[in-house]
Structure 1
Amino acid sequence: MSIKVLISDKMDPRAAEIFRERGIEVDERPGRSPDALKAIIGDYHGLAIRSSTTVTADLLEAADNLKVVGRAGIGVDNIDIPAASARGVVVMNTPFGNSITTAEHAIALMFALARQLPEADASTQAGKWEKSKFMGVELTGKTLGLIGAGNIGSIVAARALGLKMKVVAFDPFLSPERALEIGVEKVDLDTLLARADFITLHTPLTDETRGILSRDALARTKKGVRIINCARGGLIDEAALKDALDSGQVAGAALDVFETEPAKESPLFGTPGFISTPHLGASTREAQVNVAIQVAEQLSDYLLNGAVSNALNMPSLTAEEAPRVRPYMGLAENLGKLVGQVIGDRVKAIAVEVEGDAAELNIKPITGAVLAGLMGSYSDSVNMVNAPVLAKDRGLDVKEVRHSHEGDYHTLVRVTATTDEGKRRVAGTLFGADNPRLVHIFDVGIEAELSGPMLYIVNQDTPGFIGALGTTLGENDINIATFNLGRRTVGGEAVALVAVDSQPSKDVVKKLCAIEGVRRVVPLRF
């Protein structure tokens, strides 16, 4: 079956061209109603959107084949990410395609506020010549406060520094080293509010950032501050901003985004000192082409080779990394399946360790693959996207450990499961570049390929066991494909991994358990 992608919003034609060039079938159907979209979404593996399409839990319920949603742009508040994660759907955006455009728009609005350009333009074109009325302020020497110093915020900072402004930034994720690199002073929010002559917002809308410029925060700003928002509506209390403009606490405000869009009415409209634009931050020819190209390339890379770029709900895996990491992900998933099938739901915590060559790789996809294998033992329709969600729901603690040294193997992935009875470990390696092998199972050395139906057997190491096992399977028309055996001590506990051509029935498993010396039999499937 061919891979199919739906473009459900108006997008630069280059996006569809890229899909077709890479052998992906694409339909362009912008402007569909939610019901109409729901009626067809089940046919598609990928969905490319902008801001018009809303990806709801209801829509995702109908998207039986959907693997990835790509937002051409940075904002993803029109996508129900938790619902997508629960359905195993990757959500991507394109945070860099319109960064410069949005940053430039913020700078343009800052100039417009500083020199009252819209009012001066309207006055002059009305035949007035009110030169003395429009007394502006210089930007040079003023302090710009950045709320959010990520990709767009750092570009704004660079432009502001070029204008000889001082820049302070509030961003919980901004490290001191990064602040030094981009030339800003990292401060807390109260300090920014007290010092900034201009404030510009460049943060996503989350539960933590919603209303970050609240009525209380606006009251704590430096009197006469000017505020610019080209990020997301909802970051500012618009009614409180109106009052602050009326009182003079805020000298001017420029909004490109509103809490409700399209903003056909607002208490801010007509307020002296207020400037508005209709969400133009990304509206340049260059940005429209860039985000379309990026979303098409990202969706294509994921659907064709598993590369993950700019995902909001799973680890990134570049197209260059994917070929190297993919064999380890296969190994890791089987180790997770082995733990889940043998230990069951008694697992309380998981530690994923990599050493040797594996320690040089991106560990996040390897961990995701372990969780996918583990959680797939408990639930249906599990993949790397929803496995971490399911693990979190179960209260499973997940730890990652990287060892740069080599042990007995040049590369190794080890999974340690913690239960109430203690820790149980399994480990595997790659033979050659892409041939995964189990090498330890619960601290017993054993070499086995995990594939197809298998039997995990714990028994007393005594003569005659292998013969009795083979006889019982043969009498029940079950052929042994491979047999792998390990033991702790001579005459002590032994472990067998037996690959069989068909899955044994419950009656056969019961007969195997009755063999003298057998302590446990667990059917496995990989």
Structure 2
Amino acid sequence: MAPKVLVSDKLSETAVQIFRDRGIEVDFEPGLGKDKERLLEVIGQYDGLAIRSATKVTEKVLAAATNLKVVGRAGIGVDNVDIPVASKQGVIVMNTPFGNMITTAEHAIAMMFAVARQIPEASASTHAGKWEKSKFMGVELTGKTLGVIGAGNIGGIVCDRAVGLKMKVIAYDPFLGDERAKKLGVTKVSLDELLARADFITLHVPKTEKTANILSREAIAKTKKGVRIINCARGGLVDEVALAEALKSGHVAGAAFDVFSVEPATENPLFNLPNVVCTPHLGAATTEAQENVALQVAEQMADYLLTGAVQNALNMPSVTAEEAAVMGPWVKLAEDLGAFVGQISDEPVKAINILYDGRVAEMNLDALNCAAIAGFMKATNPDVNMVSAPVIAEERGIQISRTTQKKSGVFDAYIKLTIETEAKTRTIAGTVFSDGKPRFIQIKGINIDAEVGEHMLYTTNNDVAGIIGTLGKTLGENNVNIANFTLGRTEAGGDAIALLYLDEQPPVDVLDKLTATGMFQQVRPLHFATA
């Protein structure tokens, strides 16, 4: 059955056609996002939801979206999506951070020119029939110091354009490496140094706990007298009241804002102040950018729904279509390993370590980690998936770690899962053979070679005669067919295990009969998801 997508905000017809061309059923209702009640009524039908900013994907909407797998935001901001709730429900949230980079960077540069030369006020004055040439004395950008707060995708483009304008560019960004700074032609500085030196300051960071109010009253007081401040990133990065006061006092010479702490902004401390340029969140408002992000979100959502490829997800590791094809068997193995330990663990788990050996250590380990955790969590919560499992594990206080190492044994690659409880540590390892099928190769330090099937039976016992006969006889007498039978032991007379691949789940009374023999320490039916 073809996936079904709802487009509830304005998206280009070309983007909608991308879904159709790829065999995805799509309902294009660009006004539906504003109709909260109707959205709640219909959202349960859809696998995907494509939005802009009008649709609010709230906890209530997500609760009603029983089939939803992915939300795609055409644009960078996802303030209108409850990402924590989406993650808990296993819904991937994607955005399109690159489709409007140039447009937003150009708007910041345009705003810098506008405030440097007081263009909006001069234009209004001239339109009014005045000729106030001497009133609008501006400043050049050439030779001035531009302080860029956040030199990521958009900030990096601003740096590049500013260098081309012959400005001296300094940047504050904890994640800016020396090599990239050199490539951009900028000097890395501390925030305090940037505030003290910059003639112009432009912000290009997301709003987080660390960046909220980054230009606070105290920070603005540290700026160079006559500074001009540009914000085309996110509202709430600047203390607007403090900035308004600094503008009135003359400490700040001008400001240009495209974003505000409250939007739509019908009133604001910055409004109607001289040499303050304000625009209504136009950073991405060009024909090219709107088309780009619409096409990009349609391609990303289609790729995920059809191939499992994940791009630009905010709550899930990215996986390309090529990676998805190569990693598929390894993702299945990681999930099976997690499922095994999840089904045999009775005590609360404190920690999980995932070891990647050989060539698998060079794959997308974030995705493999998510698969292993999902397999483990499904033992107690069948509804979890690769998106929600890490969130739930963190909520339960389970520490997740991973280790990598070069090829260390007879296998080209393998994955080993270790879980820790208060009482014990359990391990299981597996690999993928050339046939693409996962195999368990070690349990409790005992080497085995077991094909993984949907229905399995795991037993532990002392290495004594009669185990094979007891298992075969008991299952056979109750019409439970064995597809594959694997045994292993530490040494003669030591600990031993058996792993049976069955055609069907053994009834409870059969398990009871095996336990009643007294030959087994553990008799566990296991179930593994089919590919």
TM-score band, normalised by the shorter chain?
Answer: over 0.9
Q: Distance in 2 between matches of 1:220 and 1:452?
A: 65
96, 115, 126: which one aligns with 1:124 = 126
37, 60, 63: which one aligns with 1:61 = 63
Per-residue deviation at 1:433? 5.2
Per-residue deviation at 1:141? 1.4
Q: Which runs of 5+ in 1 are unaligned?
A: none
Per-residue deviation at 1:345? 4.3
Q: 1:449 to 1:344 in 2, by over 3 A?
A: farther
Paired AA for residue 53 in structure 1 = T
Paired AA for residue 150 in structure 1 = G
Match in the other structure for 1:432: 434
Aligned length: 526
Match in the other structure for 1:27: 27
Per-residue deviation at 1:128? 1.8
Contact 1:469 1:515 in 2 (8 A): no
Q: How does 1:343-382 map to 2 (within 5 A)?
A: 343-382=345-384
Contact 1:77 1:205 in 2 (8 A): no
Paired AA for residue 130 in structure 1 = E
Per-residue deviation at 1:45? 0.5
Per-residue deviation at 1:12? 1.5
Match in the other structure for 2:184: 182
Q: How does 1:338-487 map to 2 (within 5 A)?
A: 338-432=340-434, 434-487=436-489
- How high is the sequence identity, in percent, across the aligned residues? 60
Contact 1:360 1:404 in 2 (8 A): no
Per-residue deviation at 1:248? 1.1
Contact 1:465 1:516 in 2 (8 A): no
Paired AA for residue 504 in structure 1 = P
Which secondary structure does the structure 2 equivalent of 1:278 belong to? coil
Q: How does 1:31-180 map to 2 (within 5 A)?
A: 31-32=31-32, 33-180=35-182
Which secondary structure does the structure 1 equivalent of 2:321 belong to? coil
Match in the other structure for 2:232: 230
Per-residue deviation at 1:477? 2.9
Contact 1:233 1:258 in 2 (8 A): yes
Per-residue deviation at 1:413? 1.2
Q: Distance in 1 between matches of 2:124 and 2:99?
A: 33
Match in the other structure for 1:312: 314
Q: Distance in 2 between matches of 1:181 and 1:420?
A: 51
Paired AA for residue 26 in structure 1 = V
Q: Distance in 1 between matches of 2:185 and 2:321?
A: 32
Contact 2:347 2:421 in 1 (8 A): no
Per-residue deviation at 1:180? 2.4
Per-residue deviation at 1:80? 0.7
CA root-mean-square deviation: 1.4
Match in the other structure for 2:12: 12
Which secondary structure does the structure 1 equivalent of 2:223 belong to? coil
Which secondary structure does the structure 2 equivalent of 1:16 belong to? helix
**Segment drifting more, 198-207 vs 511-520:** 511-520
Q: TM-score, normalised by structure 1?
A: 0.97
Q: Distance in 1 between matches of 2:146 and 2:346?
A: 56
Which secondary structure does the structure 2 equivalent of 1:88 belong to? coil
Match in the other structure for 2:512: 510
Per-residue deviation at 1:288? 0.9
Contact 2:147 2:169 in 1 (8 A): yes
Which secondary structure does the structure 2 equivalent of 1:153 belong to? helix
Per-residue deviation at 1:81? 0.6
Per-residue deviation at 1:247? 1.0
240, 243, 259: which one aligns with 1:241 = 243
Per-residue deviation at 1:101? 0.3
Per-residue deviation at 1:418? 2.2
Contact 1:456 1:495 in 2 (8 A): yes
Which secondary structure does the structure 2 equivalent of 1:348 belong to? strand
Q: Distance in 2 between matches of 1:150 and 1:466?
A: 62
Paired AA for residue 471 in structure 1 = K
Q: Distance in 2 between matches of 1:392 and 1:243?
A: 44
Paired AA for residue 212 in structure 1 = I
Contact 2:347 2:422 in 1 (8 A): no
Q: 1:345 to 1:35 in 2, by over 3 A?
A: farther
Contact 1:333 1:372 in 2 (8 A): yes
Q: Distance in 1 between matches of 2:118 and 2:375?
A: 60
Which secondary structure does the structure 1 equivalent of 2:23 belong to? coil
**Segment drifting more, 343-352 vs 516-525:** 343-352
**Segment drifting more, 278-287 vs 259-268:** 259-268
CA deviations 1:406-440 (Å, max 9, x no partner) are 52101211112123344322111111152211111
CA deviations 1:322-357 (Å, max 9, x no partner) are 101111000100000001111244321111122222
Per-residue deviation at 1:471? 1.7
